[in-house]
Chain A
Amino acid sequence: MEPLSRMTAATIDVLSVLDASREPCWGLLVIKSSGRPAGSVYPILERLETSGWVTSSWEEDDSRPGPRRRYYELTEDGATAARAAIRSFAAKSTAAPKVAHA
């Protein structure tokens, strides 16, 4: 697993959705739950998959004809790193207003 070169708010939102899901999550649901546009989420998921934070697989439901859905889930190391990144980002977000008021 490789560390991400940059950690944006959109990336944190995607990681939060994947971390909160107990099972593999459909890509469209990640888009819906994160509140981010597909143009942001698709590249983020691809980066996460390339870096080894996330794995993806095709759905196993043969009852739905046509193209298959793609499901994403955090790897074991990715889950640990994702939680650390979310905590770190949250800490920075809460720390900033304090600095401003100081």
Chain B
Amino acid sequence: MSMATVAVRFAAWTLPRKMRNRYREQWLADLRDAEEAGIPPADIVFGSLAFAATLNRPLFSDSRALDAEAVTRRSRVAAGLALSAALVALTQYANIFVGFDNVASMYAREPGTEILAGWLGAYSWIAPVAAGLIVMVTRGTRTGVSIAVIALVFASFVGEIQPAIDRASQHRTTMWHAEPWIYPTALGLVAAASVFLWFALGRPRQRTDSVHGNRRLLASSIGGMVVLAAALLVIAHTQTIWETRLPLPFGPSVSENLSMWLQWMELKLDFEQLMVGTFSVLLVAGAVLACLVIAVGLPRRGTVSGVTAAAVFALCFLTLGYAALLSFLEAIWGVDFASRPIVVLFLVGRIGLVAVILYAVGGLRLPRSLPRMRRRPDMRSDAELIGG
């Protein structure tokens, strides 16, 4: 394939979907017959690239009728990316700081403070999961997205309230003072996602002319990409911590405490380890089942249910039983390798959540199940055919 052909094909690829096939064939024919017409092939190449670059597209000009279906779908994808990125970012810090099993509550002096910390932790992971389910059930309608955004915004404040509780209970959270950017960043991520989501889908019905449609598409696309990029950066930050097994700086490391505890106690299969083991088996079974559902191609509802179950279970399990899971894994595999399954659980939960949300807002399409072949009354069965 010559460079000229590659360039022409690339120019055609950049065109809107409805124009792509036609101009690809037309330009390739012109390229093939350029010599016959007495035109340099380079002129055809530059002509196709210039055409693609100067074409009046909906995003930059209102001279062409807007493809409403394409704009709606791209807006939904952007909104789905923004919402999922915000959820991923929020669950990250909720896992570490605000859960029933979080370290801060262990040091709370007042019983009421500990209960409040626990309920806040419960809300911090219930709200993002609920927001995702709301968007999924309502199929990305304005009302559903608005409700999800409100829940997400309130959940974002939990990350700010928890350190205040810690200070009130006379326990200084070293992570807060060492890396104060974490909470404003998480709050900013959710706020940015909320703004872009509301701008894209949550506002009252706007004029549907191309100019406002273009701005909404542009804002939602940029917002989604920015929030997702920031969330990916945050995830990389967390995975780096766990992979290198650095001790958490707000006191003696979790692994050191657990190691001392295990040395003091005789290792036996107690209730906690039994529960953790049972959850682990269920989680692995759920993940395998979800993969099989996707691979076999069962109906979309089954696929979505499997992926949702695996993702939600992974996130809830990590939030509730993080320390217990870590102790169990360290007892079996040692300190060096115990963090790796946790990393896998994080990835399974979050990627699954993103996939579910993208499907919910209509941006991710799954194949339909194969139609069942109905046998007519006059058709012979295979046994009859074989038996003659």
Chain A residues within CB distance 8 Å of chain B: 5, 26-29, 31-32, 37-43, 46, 50, 66-70
Contact = CB atoms under 8 A, between A and B. Distances in A.
Q: Is the interface of A mostly helix, strand, loop or mixed?
A: helix
B51 A46 contact: yes
Interface in B78-123: none
Interface of B is mostly: helix
Given A28-B33, A38-B39, A66 B28 contact: yes
A45 to B, nearest CB: 9
A32 B26 contact: no
B251 interface: no
A41 B47 contact: yes
Contacts of A32: 37-39
Contact of B47 (A42, A66, A68, A70): A42
Contacts of B26: 27, 67-70
Contact of B43 (A38, A43, A66, A70): A38
Given A29-B37, A31-B39, A67 B50 contact: no
A67 B48 CA distance: 16
A28 B30 contact: yes
B12 to A, nearest CB: 11
22 contacts: A26-B37, A28-B30, A28-B33, A29-B37, A31-B37, A31-B43, A32-B39, A38-B39, A38-B47, A38-B50, A39-B43, A39-B46, A39-B47, A42-B51, A43-B50, A46-B51, A66-B28, A66-B32, A67-B26, A68-B25, A69-B29, A70-B22
A28 B50 CA distance: 16
Contacts of A67: 24-26, 28-29, 32
B34 interface: yes
Task: List 6 tightest A-B contacts by C-beta distance, closest first.
Answer: A38-B47, A39-B50, A67-B29, A28-B37, A67-B28, A42-B51
B32 A46 contact: no
A70 B21 CA distance: 13
Contacts of A26: 37
A66 B51 contact: no
B20 interface: no
B44 interface: yes
B64 interface: yes
Interface centre among A27, A42, A43 (most CB of B within 10 A): A42
B54 interface: yes
A84 B370 CA distance: 59
Nearest to B31: A67
B246 interface: no
Nearest to B54: A43
B228 to A, nearest CB: 35
Contact of B51 (A43, A50, A69): A43
Pick from A28, A37, A41, A66 the residue with the most CB of B within 10 Å. A28
A37 B42 CA distance: 10
Given A28-B33, A43-B55, 15 more contacts: A26-B37, A28-B39, A37-B46, A38-B47, A39-B47, A39-B49, A39-B50, A42-B50, A43-B50, A66-B29, A67-B29, A69-B26, A69-B29, A69-B33, A70-B26
A70 B12 CA distance: 15
Contact of B44 (A38, A50, A68): A38
Contacts of A46: 51, 55
